[in-house]
Amino acid sequence: MNFGLTEEQEMIVNTVRSFVENEIYPHEDLVERTGEVPHEIAQDIKQKTIDLGFYACNFPESVGGAGLNHLEFALVERELGRGSMALNHFFGRPQNILMACEGDQIERYLLPAVRGERMDALAMTEPDAGSDVRGMKCNAVRDGGDWVVNGTKHFISGAEHADFVIVFIATGEDQTPKGPKKRITAFLVDRGTPGFTIRDGYQSVSHRGYKNMILEFDNCRLPHAQVLGEVDGGFEVMNTWLYATRITVATMSVGRARRCFDYALNYSAERKQFGQAIGKFQGVSFQLAEL
Ligand SMILES: Cc1cc2nc3c(=O)[nH]c(=O)nc-3n(C[C@H](O)[C@H](O)[C@H](O)COP(=O)(O)OP(=O)(O)OC[C@H]3O[C@@H](n4cnc5c(N)ncnc54)[C@H](O)[C@@H]3O)c2cc1C
């Protein structure tokens, strides 16, 4: 049995790796120094990704994506993992969950996201609801044809660049033998909606230039048309589309580890002590072998 990559998969890997080396690496020092990605650089990376045919490569061809399968997309993420997370953000991979768009949501959110015209972010986590998503306090109450939302989300990646955010919000509660269980609904929330604020989150110890944001909802009124999927069906939407991202987080980490290894290997070959490259000392070479 052959577990190797096909020629086409090798081509995907090589294309993305060259892109990262040529279009991402050269800007990393600047981002590291300033903690910001200049607008022109962001737009340049985005346009080059579109030109390469890789923007929204995780979406099917039927909606204008590159139609990569899970393995191919995991390989893309692995190669992107070598580069700065802040810069890679503009090698756009919108949330797959947008495939749940229906009716005019398709023209307003899904297609512009795939074309790179509108950027998205995804918000589930709250200060007191991380792994325990159902513990969320952010809630929406029905008021005529609208929903009125109150609460806070945090750790939201990319929200500073987002034109809209897919937000998971509690829309009720069921009593179960194990205690109350939140019903959750996904909503599409446009930047600029009254009562919706996006503000700076916490400083990260790494990933310079990457920001996580805090979202606040203060009696924010959303028309019913902003519901993504079914009311109280947020978990189904999450389970259908979000699981794939768990693999990509892992593969991205593999890419990061490989880049670190490259650095360590090069340094141990260049750095000389006691008359030879430090990589020649077993104390260092064994560690490299283990890596
Ligand atoms: C770089 C980064 C980007 C992120 N981007 C986003 C984003 O865009 N949108 C978004 O919504 N969220 C985002 N998050 C938040 C992320 O989803 C949460 O950090 C994650 O769900 C964990 O929640 P928590 O940090 O509150 O940790 P906690 O849930 O408090 O967990 C703390 C520790 O306890 C462990 N633990 C928790 N429950 C159990 C259990 N039942 N059994 C055993 N161990 C347990 C956990 O494994 C962990 O080690 C991001 C986080 C990071 C680090």
Q: What backbone torsions phi and psi does residue 182 show, to the nearest 5 degrees?
A: -70, 140
Average pLDDT, the chain: 95
* Residue among 155, 168, 211 to mutate when testing ligand 1 (max atoms within 8 A of CB): 155
Query: Does some domain include residue 265?
Result: no
CA 126 to ligand 1 center in whole angstroms: 10
What's residue 240's pLDDT?
Answer: 82
Query: Does some domain include residue 103?
Result: no
The single residue listed with the structure tokens 């909802």 is: 217
Query: Does some domain include residue 186?
Result: yes
Q: Is the pLDDT of residue 63 over 90?
A: yes
Q: Is the pTM of this model over 0.85?
A: yes
Query: Does some domain include residue 70?
Result: no
CA dist 290 → 44, 82, 265, 283, 287 (Å): 39, 20, 12, 11, 5
The atom of ligand 1 lying closest to the CA of 159 is 8
Q: Is 123 in the pocket of ligand 1 (CB under 6 A)?
A: yes
Rounded distance between C-alpha atoms, residue 210 and residue 84, angstroms: 8
| Chain centre to alpha carbon of residue 79 | 15
Closest CA to 201 of 139, 135, 153, 151: 153
Domain that holds residue 165: 119-240
Query: Does some domain include residue 261?
Result: no
What's residue 170's pLDDT?
Answer: 97
Query: Does some domain include residue 72?
Result: no
CA 234 to ligand 1 center in whole angstroms: 18
CA dist 141 → 84, 138, 153, 172 (Å): 40, 10, 17, 8
- Report which protein residue has its CA nearest ligand 1's atom 24: 130
What total of structural domains would you count in the chain?
1
Residue 171's identity, in one-letter code, is T
Query: Does some domain include residue 271?
Result: no
Query: Does some domain include residue 144?
Result: yes
CA 143 to ligand 1 center in whole angstroms: 32
Rounded distance between C-alpha atoms, residue 18 and residue 251, angstroms: 18
- Report which protein residue has its CA nearest ligand 1's atom 44: 131
- CATH code (residue 208): 2.40.110.10
β-bridge partners, 228? 186
What's residue 121's pLDDT?
Answer: 97
